[in-house]
């Protein structure tokens, strides 16, 4: 097996050739062919990369065809098609996807049955921020055909004009909400809401020229939240890519590119040498970040988490890592408690078991209320409960789930006068490019456990089976 940075003696050892800067003079780059039988782990395989300076010059290919899972219409299974992927344009990057994850975000858009799916998972039931976010789209018709997928790990294949902080061979995580580093939000230390690259589920094209980089026989296949990771290769705006430690195993850290915010499933590796592409369940950054970055519980504090889906479990993990002494899980499904214990939940409350508001139950359990709460369902009823269950004087409630656009949040003004604090967050208040690399390092330093979020492995050719796992509730 070639060590990282090894010099290739001849072209026969090359799997494929790539180049950077399609809009300017090309800088050639090549990747060695690696036999997976000689590889002990994913991290070894993905780090056996030859540096640019050591490569034999090659001729770049402008447009290439790759296997991609296409959603041709709502409610129909995805179809693996050969799709043309154009080279990156200004401020864009073409990425070879090695692992991608499946979550309820993809389910909602693939099924285009947002209202029914959200109603199934509403009210304390452990849905996720992104899943609930798409309840906003009730009555709308998402554009088709499109390529789904919003969380992944891959390697930069080539970059377009103007890209200076990424180069071929870099390991990256595509993120559905970006960081341009130029707008007021990006320059603020208090916000991660980029003006240019904020999540937009309606946009099916790139912002540079309002065109898609995917096509079949000249007809465009549209994007999904700017990432479209159910593909061997994708083209993404540079602001939506987090450069990470090349030693980090992409089959694990790819879950950080969404939010441990919904149940997700990882598909990969996407290469010609390995057919055992895998799918798992999770999203980490949204739930975990909501706790550690926004709620900020202190050691010995009490935390309530509303909704024990993947986002809620990540939020509970954040509370455990922060040193909370009590983590109270709230969910309508009592069967979730046993699993939630693995993520730090110490006590459980099912609102259906009481004839009074759950906030009163929690207040009685905690001598006046919890120090922090994190709401992960998108239900306004749960939001009210999460806010009103925190202790007066110092309690902080953080809203992660997003309700229907017409929903109204009602509470007594005296709750604010009594010094309870209410906050909201998107993507756990992480700036994707600036902050996600440090989260990856926490995993590398064994400060975070990601493996326990992974639930299934299936071949990429059976990606529709992964959707079945999610819809049947067989993943996190």
Q: What is the pLDDT of residues 389-402, one digit of tens each?
A: 999 999 999 999 87
Distance CA 450, CA 447 (A): 10
Q: What is the mean pLDDT of residues 304-308?
A: 96
Helix (H/G/I), strand (E/B), else coil: 451: helix
| CATH class name, domain 64-283+430-471 | alpha beta
For the chain, what's the residue count?
Answer: 476
- In DSSP terms, which residues pair with 222 in a beta bridge? 146
Distance CA 85, CA 174 (A): 17
Q: Looking at the predicted structure, is the pLDDT value of residue 276 above 80? A: no
User: Phi/psi class of residue 428: alpha, beta or left (left: φ > 0; alpha: ψ in -120 to 50)?
Assistant: left
> Of all residues in the chain, what percent carry a pLDDT higher than 90?
46
Beta strands in 233-361, from DSSP E residues, in sequence order = 233-237, 241-244, 264-267, 302-306, 326-330, 347-349
Residue 418's contacts (CB-CB under 8 Å, 6 or more residues apart) are 392, 393
pLDDT at 123: 36
What Å distances lie between residue 242 and 168, 173, 318, 440, 468, CA to CA? 14, 5, 21, 10, 30
DSSP state of 4: T
DSSP state of 87: P
pLDDT at 432: 87
pLDDT at 17: 29
Q: What is the mean pLDDT of residues 207-211?
A: 91
pLDDT at 134: 38
Residue 435's contacts (CB-CB under 8 Å, 6 or more residues apart) are 192
Q: What is the mean pLDDT of residues 283-287?
A: 74
Lowest-confidence segment of 254-263, 332-341, 354-363, 402-411 by average pLDDT: 254-263
Parts of the chain belonging to CATH 3.90.180.10: 64-283+430-471
Two tokens at 54? 């050591």
**Kind of pairing between the strands at 421-424 and 219-221:** unpaired
**Cβ(200)–Cβ(183) below 8 Å:** no
Distance CA 297, CA 306 (A): 16
Q: Which of 369, 372, 365 minimizes the C-alpha distance to 347? A: 365
DSSP state of 24: S
Return the H-helix or E-strand segment holding 66: strand 64-70
Q: Provide φ and ψ at 83, rounded to 5°.
A: -120, 140
Q: Which residue has the tokens 């789930």?
A: 401
Lowest-confidence segment of 251-265, 302-316, 342-356 by average pLDDT: 251-265
**Cβ(52)–Cβ(168) below 8 Å:** yes
Parts of the chain belonging to CATH 3.40.50.720: 285-426
Q: Provide φ and ψ at 269, rounded to 5°.
A: -80, 145
Q: Which of 252, 257, 256 minimizes the C-alpha distance to 236? A: 257
Q: What is the mean pLDDT of residues 319-330?
A: 97
Beta-carbon neighbour count of residue 194 at 10 Å?
23
**Cβ(37)–Cβ(45) below 8 Å:** no
Distance CA 187, CA 172 (A): 22
Give the ranges where 191-343 is alpha helix by DSSP (H): 250-253, 285-289, 310-321, 336-340
Q: Looking at the predicted structure, is the pLDDT value of residue 263 above 70? A: no
**Cβ(290)–Cβ(400) below 8 Å:** yes
Q: Looking at the predicted structure, is the pLDDT value of residue 138 above 50? A: no
Distance CA 437, CA 317 (A): 19
- Report pTM: 0.75
pLDDT at 270: 55
CATH architecture label of 285-426: 3-Layer(aba) Sandwich (3.40)
Strand order through the sheet with 219-221? 64-70, 79-85, 214-216, 219-221
With b for 16 or more beta-carbon neighbours within 10 A and e for fewer, the 104-128 pattern comes to bbbbbbbbbbbeebbeebbbbbbbb
Report the mean per-residue pLDDT for the chain: 77
Place 267 in a pLDDT band, splitting at 50, 70 and 90: low
Q: What is the mean pLDDT of residues 119-142?
A: 39
Better pLDDT: 312 or 33: 312
Q: Looking at the predicted structure, is the pLDDT value of residue 23 above 80? A: no
Residue 136's contacts (CB-CB under 8 Å, 6 or more residues apart) are 402, 404, 405
Q: Is 473 exposed, middle or buried (0-12, 13-18, 19+ CB in 10 A)?
A: middle
Q: Looking at the predicted structure, is the pLDDT value of residue 417 above 90? A: yes
pLDDT at 467: 77
Place 112 in a pLDDT band, splitting at 50, 70 and 90: low
Lowest-confidence segment of 204-218, 375-389, 402-416, 459-473 by average pLDDT: 459-473
Q: Looking at the predicted structure, is the pLDDT value of residue 136 above 70? A: no
pLDDT digits (tens, 9 = 90+) for 139-162: 345 688 999 888 889 999 999 999
pLDDT at 460: 77
Beta-carbon neighbour count of residue 412 at 10 Å?
10
> Of all residues in the chain, what percent carry a pLDDT higher than 70?
71
> Which DSSP string corresponds to 115-132?
HHHHHHT-SSS---HHHH
Q: What is the mean pLDDT of residues 370-376?
A: 97
């Amino acid at each position: 097996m070639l060590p990282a940075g090894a010099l290739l003696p001849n072209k026969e050892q090359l799997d494929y050739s790539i180049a950077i800067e399609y809009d300017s003079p090309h800088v050639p780059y090549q990747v060695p062919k690696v036999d997976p039988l000689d590889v002990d782990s994913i991290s070894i395989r993905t780090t056996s990369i030859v540096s640019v300076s050591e490569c034999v010059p090659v001729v770049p290919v402008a447009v290439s065809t790759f296997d991609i899972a296409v959603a041709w219409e709502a409610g129909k299974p995805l179809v693996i098609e050969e799709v043309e992927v154009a080279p990156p344009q200004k401020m864009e990057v073409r990425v070879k996807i090695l692992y991608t994850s499946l979550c309820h975000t993809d389910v909602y858009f693939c099924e285009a049955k947002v209202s029914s799916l959200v109603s199934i998972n509403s009210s304390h039931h452990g849905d996720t921020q992104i899943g609930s976010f798409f309840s906003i789209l009730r009555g709308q018709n998402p554009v088709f055909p499109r390529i789904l997928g919003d969380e992944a790990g891959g390697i930069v294949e080539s970059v377009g004009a103007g890209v200076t902080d990424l180069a071929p061979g870099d390991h990256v995580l595509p993120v559905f909400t970006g960081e341009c580093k130029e707008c007021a939000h990006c320059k603020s230390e208090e916000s991660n809401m980029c003006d240019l690259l904020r999540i937009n589920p309606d946009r099916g094209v790139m912002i540079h020229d309002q065109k898609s980089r995917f096509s079949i026989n000249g007809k465009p296949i549209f994007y999904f939240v700017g990432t479209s990771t159910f593909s061997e290769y994708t083209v993404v705006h540079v602001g939506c890519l987090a450069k990470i430690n090349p030693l980090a195993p992409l089959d694990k850290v790819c879950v950080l590119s969404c939010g441990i915010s919904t149940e997700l499933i990882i598909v990969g590796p996407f290469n010609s040498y390995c057919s055992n592409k895998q799918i798992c369940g999770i999203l980490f950054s949204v739930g975990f970040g909501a706790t550690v970055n926004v709620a900020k519980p202190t050691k010995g504090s009490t935390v309530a988490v509303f909704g024990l889906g993947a986002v809620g479990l990540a939020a509970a993990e954040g509370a455990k890592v922060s040193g909370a002494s009590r983590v109270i899980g709230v969910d309508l499904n009592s069967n979730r408690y046993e699993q939630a214990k693995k993520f730090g939940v110490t006590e459980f409350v099912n609102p259906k078991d009481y004839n009074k508001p759950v906030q009163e139950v929690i207040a009685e359990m905690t001598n006046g209320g919890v120090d922090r709460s994190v709401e992960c369902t998108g239900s306004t009823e749960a939001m009210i409960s999460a806010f009103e269950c925190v202790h007066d004087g110092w309690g902080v409630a953080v809203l992660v789930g997003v309700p229907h656009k017409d929903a109204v949040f009602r509470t007594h003004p005296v709750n604010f006068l009594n010094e309870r604090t209410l906050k909201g967050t998107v993507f756990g208040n992480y700036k994707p490019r600036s902050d996600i690399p440090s989260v990856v390092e926490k995993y590398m330093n064994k400060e975070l456990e990601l493996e326990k979020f992974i639930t299934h492995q299936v071949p990429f050719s059976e990606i529709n089976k992964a959707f079945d796992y999610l819809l049947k509730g067989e993943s996190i």
